[in-house]
Structure 1
Amino acid sequence: ADRLRVAAIAAAVTDPLRFDLSEEAVLGTARVLIPTLVAALPPVLRDGHDWDPIARRLWTRLSGQEPDEPTLQALDTALGLLVDHDLAASTLAVRVAASARAHAYAAVSAGLGVIEGPLHGAAGGLAHRMLLEVLELGSAAPVVAEELRAGRRIPGLGHRLYPGEDPRARALFALLEDVPRAAPAIAAARDVQATAARHTPLHANVDLALAVLTVSSGMASTAAETIFAVARTAGWIAHALEEYGERPLRMRPSGLYSGPRPPRPLPE
């Protein structure tokens, strides 16, 4: 994710047309920026070709295993599922930046800064590490117990927008069922969900499904955040493009001062 943030800034510096906020120019930025973000990641596997789909190119940056078609389809679908999700925190940051007429690279940089939080883009990495621990111990019980004892939320469970299962998780799990090497990670995820259900009825969200994908593909725990960021960049630029068509600075709230009064009247 750090490389993605640096790459977005570097790409902006090399684009003299970045201040052109017309629809054609912004769409051109998207076509260049997303492949650039992927190319900025160091290859782990034999480097992909420029004509390969984004999912295959991203795979070579995240996994040292040779991909099969079902797994690539799962990664490609994950990228699609994560493109947009209402006004999430990072998307709101992008909207605010675009409202001030920041160019598309700067707007994306605002989003990239927000997703690093453990309650947003980094949640998939927390779920990844949890699944590894469950697989190592052979049971979710001690892992879930430790999370609850520490007063932490169980990664990958529950979502404020969905009283039931996250539909993105359901779609991704359905594809992962066709990937034989994903079976142990899926079983670990279901064990976590079943164990936590004794305490509170929480359902799997997309972070848990994404963690199953990254764990079963031999990726690092940071891969989930990277997949999230690359996917969401497309959605962020779409939101920025919409915001450019609105009244400038419309997303400028006013504050209400509640501190102590100044010692003397302010000058006129």
Structure 2
Amino acid sequence: MEWIDAATAAERLGVKPATLYAYVSRGVLKRRHGEDGRRSLFDADEIEQLARRGRPRNQPPELVIESAVTALGADRPYYRGYDALALATTVSFEEVAEWLWTGDPSNGLRQMPGFGGSGPRPAADSREGGPRPAAGSGVGGSRPASGGGGGGVGAPWRCEKRALRAAVAAQRGLPPGLLPLDRLQVITTVLGASDSLRYQLDPASVAATGRRLVAGLVDALPEVGEPQGESIAERLWARLTPHPATPGLLDALRAALVLLADHELAASTLAARVAASAKADPYAVVLTGLGVLGGPLHGGASYAAERLLAEVSEPGLAARVVADRVRRGERIPGFGHSVYNNGDARGSLLLDLVREASPEHERLAAVVAVLDEVRRRRLPERNVDFALAALVAVGGMVPGAGEAIFAVARTVGWLAHAMEEYAKGTLLRLRASYTGPPPR
């Protein structure tokens, strides 16, 4: 059997690579991954047969969006060609964000192998102190190269205090015990309303908005613990748990943020791209993503996995808790993945980091018991949602903390995809396959 790469297969069929992958997702073609886990390979005979038959017909239309942000490998994502797992164990969340937004290694990833540059860092400006315009122009003009009172690469990301006070005040009437994800939607709305530069959609401006927004999302959440430091991971820790962070658990949180920063066209990202194609401002784009993220089949799966672990108050209960869900015909939250059929490497890495950080923690026994029971039943492998729930449990975090980590991280990816739509300048218009009564 001869295997050919995607470029050769697409050329033989006379289609774009994006169309080739659409054939894969619709079951028209099969593919396998190369030994590096990154290249897609196709059966040359199958490609030849399809070329002779012509393009498949009578198939439901599928939206194909070309993007340079993230590629999905056999078990992990690659951010602009770079292994997300390698990034998660090497560099900061902020640097990964800059890489996703700009694709410029001089704006981040400075110490990663293969990135030799350490180019100029954006100047740190203050919105309240007369920001300096960034070089260049784009849709709607340009804005400061950094967000708020600092935030270029290497400087802490900040949102100005006036906007933070407004975002905190807006939460005072909310019910006690509200999940963090619901608070993040309120915070995003207030931060957008307070930003007079939100309609500037050139890349530098959107990146500046991203720094301001991520910092505001974190800093406007109620503080439940002592401040840990200046990075986004350190500041987020103090908003999610009253327990001091150990270096290992803080590394696990930082890795989680990196691993969840983007995942190609996940449901929330597709929704965010549609909003951006209509020239919705970045805050509206993120609100769109947040609205979809909370669904139980998406980011809400981490909260379901949290609840699963909460029911396993001692390891001996794992078998009953899993059996109850199987009996009800429910999926076991935190297990299985629609893309990674043979296991989600993001979950493996994050779970390993949690174990290494707190090997003797009492909640790890429950985590291991659930894993053992699921494997005993030969159910699908754990995914990143389960590992995130394990981090929440071991870190003693507030309910819904996993969703908050997911949302803060994925804000970066939504804005990276929004930048691509802003640059295209065309509206994404899906078509329905009408199945109702004939028009009269």
TM-score between the two structures when normalised by the length of structure 2: 0.57
Instruction: Give the match for residue 430 of structure 2.
Output: 253
Indicate the residue corresponding to 2:47 in structure 1: none
Select the structure with the greater relative contact order (CA < 8 A; seq sep ≥ 6): 1
Cα distance in 1 for residues equivalent to 2:313 and 2:398: 15
Match of 1:176 in 2: 354
8 Å CA contact 1:45, 1:60 repeated in 2: yes
Aligned-partner Cα distance in 1 for 2:333–2:257: 20
> What displacement does 1:258 show?
3.4
Identity %: 47
| Structure 1: unaligned runs, 5 residues or longer | 264-268
Correspondent of 1:4 among 178, 184, 187: 184
Partner in structure 1 of residue 206 of structure 2: 26
Cα distance, 1:85 vs structure 2: 0.8
Q: Deviations over 1:77-113 (max 9, x none)?
A: 1000000111100000101001111111110100000
Once superposed, which parts of structure 1, at least 4 consecutive aligned residues long, lie more than 6 Å away? none
User: Which aligned pairs between 1:155-234 and structure 2 lie closer than 5 A?
Assistant: 155-180=333-358, 183-234=361-412
Deviations 1:30-77 (A, max 9, x none): 01000000012100012456xx11111001000010111111000011
Query: 1:69-218 maps to which residues of 2 (within 5 A)?
Result: 69-136=247-314, 138-180=316-358, 183-218=361-396
Q: Distance in 2 between matches of 1:182 and 1:163?
A: 31
Does the Cα contact within 8 Å between 2:303 and 2:400 map onto a contact in 1? yes
For residues 104 and 201 of structure 1, the distance between their equivalents in structure 2, rounded to whole angstroms, comes to 40
CA distance in 1, matches of 2:281, 2:340: 33
How many positions carry a matched residue from both structures? Answer: 260
Question: Aligned in 2, Cα 1:136/1:116: closer, same or farther, shift over 3 Å?
Answer: same
Q: Which has the higher strand share?
A: 2
Paired residue for 1:238? Answer: 416
Distance 1:262 1:156, change over 3 A: closer
Residue matched to 1:38: 218
- Shift, 1:128, TM fit: 1.2
Structure 2 stretches of 5 or more lacking a match?
1-180
Give the Å deviation of 1:187. 3.3
Q: Which residue of 2 aligns with 1:266?
A: none
Q: How large is the RMSD of aligned CA atoms in angstroms?
A: 1.7
Kindly indicate whether the alpha-carbon contact (under 8 Å) linking 1:182 and 1:212 is maintained by their aligned counterparts in 2: no
Task: Tell me which structure has the larger Cα radius of gyration.
Answer: 2
**Cα distance change of structure 1 residues 132 and 244 upon mapping to structure 2, 3 Å threshold:** same
AA aligned opposite 2:412: A
User: How far apart, in 1, do the equivalents of 2:340 and 2:307 lie?
Assistant: 24
Q: Distance in 1 between matches of 2:393 and 2:359?
A: 10
CA separation in 2, counterparts of 1:25 and 1:209?
34
- Letter in structure 2 aligned against 1:253: L
What TM-score results when the alignment is normalised by the length of structure 1? 0.91
- Relative to 1, partners in 2 of residues 1:184 and 1:96: Cα closer, same or farther, differing over 3 Å? same
**Partner of residue 14 from structure 1, selected from 194, 198, 204:** 194
Query: Which amino acid counterpart does residue 388 of structure 2 have in structure 1?
Result: L
